[in-house]
A and B are shown apart, each in its own frame.
Chain A
Amino acid sequence: MKNKLSKAHEKYLKRLRKDKAIVIFWRIALLACFLGIWQLLADTHVIDPFFFSSPSRIATTLVNLFATGNLWLHIWTSLYKTILGFVIAIVLGLIIAIALWWSDRLRKILEPYLIILNSLPKIALGPMIIFWVGSGTSATVVMSVLICIVITIISMLNAFISCDKDKILLMKSMHANKFQILFKLVLPNALPEFVSVLKINVGMSWVGTVMGEYLSSKAGLGYLINYGSQMLKLDIVMTSIFLLCLLASGMNLLVSLLEKRQQK
């Protein structure tokens, strides 16, 4: 049976609900205002709809692209490459971070190279990637992996290293071996950092995919953006950006659900 709430508690919960509703209302209002003002400025030709597009033009383009049946191919191509790059970067990055945590010496040897790789603008490697792995899907996935992996290694390694020394000592005092310290302490302890890395990498992997598709591809949202800008079909560019926003938000939502589950 539910406990009867006191009046003060009821008031407090009501205030919480009201705060939440206000935040949601303003979020929607802000978006509606933005779209409304954009449409108004385009309709009154304060901004040129050819260059700036408008919500109604994006909607029409979206409908037309769906009607041709090609849009699903572009969405799926980009989504597939992004998820592949994201997963490879996370798995590989995690394995490398574990290896660097495991061996102090290896970490000391590789530290300067990691710093250099982190500061290198990965897009500069674009033309070389095409020579190394060929154009198309593999080039895009490699670009995505390169952009995500260094940040994964550095963030996860920092999380592993900053694990409380006394907790490690406690494990050792209970005769834990290094595997047990890793799997029962260091990895679960780094879970919040892992979720942050996932969140960062959702955006980064999309950056990698779009970059890769700019450089070399025959399909995908990055390809559509490139195609639209070259053909001066800027509505296609804006529609692709809109779709990128939707897809990245969807992936972010999945990570947030994972985060909520982890916090339970």
Chain B
Amino acid sequence: MEKFLEFQDVTYFYQTKESEIHALNKMSFNVEEFQFASLVGPSGCGKTTILSLTAGLLQASEGKILLQNKAIAKNDSRIGYMFQRDHLFEWRSIWQNITLGLELQKMNKDPKKLALAEQLLKKYDLYSFKNKKPHQLSGGMRQRVALIRTLVLEPALLLLDEPFSALDFQTRLKVCDDVYDIIKSEKKTALLVTHDISEAISMSDRIIILTQRPATVKTMLDLNLEGASPLEKREDKDFGKHFEMIWRNLSTDEKQTIKSP
């Protein structure tokens, strides 16, 4: 399969008053088209930095980031970003929230885009709520709205920054299934950042395990679990084996960091 997103020896430093922080070190990995990939690693290793670099919100200090074999530009329209919290604007209706991106890019009069927004709302059972305000929706519904807001812009690549972390466990499992279903049925390529190993295994085709900062790729794991949804994939016989392998990788890295002077 062709490489869809490619990190080539990407290094990133960020500056603080106290010092220069070496966040990423010669990071290389790739994600194939329509793949659902996850980044897991110790806390503070730079997972969100990787998403910001991919979205063009930050510029790499060294190395290249390619999407569909073209370098990522600032404000690259091929990329959609979904954050930890839904960040719906409370003063706007659901419809106005969904069409926010279209409005910003002056496409809110485009009948094709508006039809897509309507179609997505209908498909994911939110159409009857289009004139409601965000506070009238449940946590799971709000996350679906946030995802549709991103999908309406028809990005080639979706970046998901722990989008389920603010939800309670039961809602989280349900929303995980919903988001996975939406991404797969809309034929999108996705890169997820998560702290939750089970979530990563149940949703991903590929897991990229990172080291402590300065982060680099420790290992990559391609998965092919049985099941149509993340919830079903949790029942796969190899689920536990993968969990243990990732856990071992992450914990040895933590130990090494503690030992290092």
Q: A170: which B residues are within 8 A, CB to CB?
A: 81, 83, 87
Supply 21 A–B pairs (Cβ within 8 Å), ascending by A.
Answer: A166-B84, A166-B85, A169-B57, A169-B81, A169-B83, A170-B81, A170-B83, A170-B87, A172-B57, A173-B55, A173-B79, A173-B80, A174-B100, A174-B104, A174-B153, A175-B75, A175-B104, A176-B104, A188-B89, A189-B91, A191-B91
Closest chain A CB from B162 CB (angstroms): 12
In the complex, the answer to whether B81 meets A173 with C-beta atoms within 8 Å is yes
Chain A: minimal CB distance from B101 (Å)? 4
Asked if A64 CB lies within 8 Å of chain B CBs, one says no
Chain B residues with CB below 8 A from A172, complex form: 57, 75
CB neighbours of A189 from chain B (8 A): 89, 91
Asked if B77 lies at the interface with its beta carbon under 8 angstroms from chain A, I say yes
* CB-CB nearest in chain B for A174: B101
Q: What chain B residues lie within 8 Å of A166 (beta carbons)?
A: 83-85, 87
A17 interface contact, C-beta 8 A: no
Q: How large is the interface on B (under 10, 10 to 19, 20 to 34, 35 or more residues)?
A: 10 to 19
Q: What is the distance, in angstroms, from A179's C-beta to the closest C-beta of chain B?
A: 10
Known: A170-B87, A189-B89, A189-B91. 19 other contacts (CB 8 A): A164-B87, A166-B83, A166-B87, A167-B87, A169-B81, A170-B81, A171-B104, A172-B57, A172-B75, A173-B55, A173-B57, A173-B81, A174-B105, A174-B153, A175-B75, A175-B77, A175-B105, A176-B104, A185-B89
Bound-state Cα–Cα, A166 to B57, Å? 12
> Does any Cβ of A come within 8 Å of B238's Cβ?
no
Is A184 in contact with chain B by the CB < 8 A criterion? yes
Q: How does the 8 Å CB contact mask read for A49-89 relative to B, with 1 for contact and 0 for none?
A: 00000000000000000000000000000000000000000
Chain A residues, CB < 8 A from B89? 167, 184-185, 188-189
Beta-carbon nearest neighbor of A166 in chain B:
B83
Q: How far is the CA of A184 from the CA of B81 in the complex (A)?
A: 18
- What is the distance, in angstroms, from B67's C-beta to the closest C-beta of chain A? 15
- B235 at the binding interface (Cβ < 8 Å): no
> CB within 8 A of B104: which of A169, A180, A188?
A180
**Residues of A contacting B: mostly:** helix
Bound: A197/B118 CA distance, A: 39
Q: Which residue of B lies closest to A264 (CB)?
A: B133
Flag A147-171 by CB within 8 Å of B: 1 or 0 each.
Answer: 0000000000000000010110111
Collect the chain B residues with CB atoms within 8 Å of residue A188's CB: 89, 91
Interface residues in B82-117 by Cβ distance below 8 A to A read: 83-85, 87, 89, 91, 100-101, 103-105
User: Nearest 3 A-B pairs (CB), nearest first?
Assistant: A173-B81, A174-B101, A175-B75
- Chain A residues whose CB sits within 8 angstroms of the CB of B77 once the complex forms: 175
CB distance from B53 to the nearest CB of A (A): 13
Contact assessment for A184 and B55 in the assembled complex, using a CB-CB cutoff below 8 Å = no
- B86–chain A nearest beta-carbon distance, Å: 10
> In the complex, what distance in Å separates the CA atom of A173 from the CA atom of B104?
11
Please report the C-alpha to C-alpha distance between residue A167 and residue B104 in the assembled complex, in whole angstroms: 14
Shortest distance between the CB of B87 and any CB in chain A (Å): 5
Complex Cα spacing A188 to B97, Å: 13
Chain A residues numbered 169-209 whose CB sits less than 8 Å from any CB in chain B: 169-176, 180, 184-185, 188-189, 191
**Distance (whole angstroms) from the CB of A181 to the closest CB of chain B:** 9
Chain B residue, CB-CB nearest to A171? B104
Task: Report the nearest A residue to B149, measured CB to CB.
Answer: A174
Identity of the chain A residue whose Cβ is nearest the Cβ of B77 in the assembled complex: A175
Chain B residues lying within 8 Å of A191, measured Cβ to Cβ, are 91
Interface bits B145-159 vs A (CB < 8 Å: 1, else 0): 000000001000000
Cα A167 to Cα B77 with chains together (Å): 18
A33 to B6, CA, bound (A): 79
A167, A174, A175 — most chain B CB neighbours (10 Å): A174
Chain A residues positioned under 8 Å from B91 (CB to CB): 188-189, 191
Q: How far apart are the CA atoms of A164 and B122 in the complex, in Å?
A: 30
Contacts of B81 in A (CB 8 A): 169-170, 173
For A176, what are the chain B residues with a Cβ–Cβ distance below 8 Å? 104
A11 vs B77: C-alpha distance when bound (angstroms): 55
Hey, which chain A residues are within 8 Å of B85, CB to CB? 166
Instruction: For the complex, give the distance between the alpha carbons of A164 and B75 in Å.
Output: 20
Cβ–Cβ contact B105 & A184, under 8 A: no
Q: Nearest-CB distance from A127 to chain B (Å)?
A: 45
User: Measured between alpha carbons, how far is A180 from B84 in the docked complex, in Å?
Assistant: 22
